[in-house]
Amino acid sequence: MEEGLHQGRSASSLAKDVNLSNSRLHQVFKEETGLSPAKYLRLLRMQQAKELLETSYLSVKEVMVRVGVMDESHFVRDFKKTFGCTPAKYRERFLSEQVNEAAFAKDST
């Protein structure tokens, strides 16, 4: 799942890859991770999106595509549900914190 975030693979294709039925995969996956395969995939995508927003100058739409989400409204909604703000607002806050930390470090020396 982690290696193919951008591919948008379905749980049924994952089940086929590991030679399990969809329901058995769902059951085993949830026992092991506490999440369904779909929720786990969504969480991985949101974590990758957060990292890209922090470490790159990609636009929000470019980040969305890189993590395998094709619908911007779903991406923004899922990101906000996971991190408490929209991707654009998250990047703005992150960059602001970086500037403040750099200024504090400079003043401390």
Looking at per-residue confidence, does 89 or 29 come out higher?
Answer: 89
Domains, the chain, with CATH or none: 8-108 (1.10.10.60)
The per-residue DSSP string of 45-99 comes to HHHHHHHHHHH----HHHHHHHTT---HHHHHHHHHHHHSS-HHHHHHHHHHHHH
Residue type, 66: R
- Among residues of the chain, what percentage have pLDDT more than 70? 92
Contact 63, 52 (CB under 8 A): yes
Count the Cβ atoms, other than its own, within 10 Å of residue 80.
Answer: 15
Residues 16-66 have pLDDT tens digits of 888 989 899 899 989 999 999 889 989 999 999 999 999 999 999 999 999
Residue 2 has pLDDT above 80, yes or no: no
Look up the pTM and report it: 0.82
CA 92 to chain centre: 17
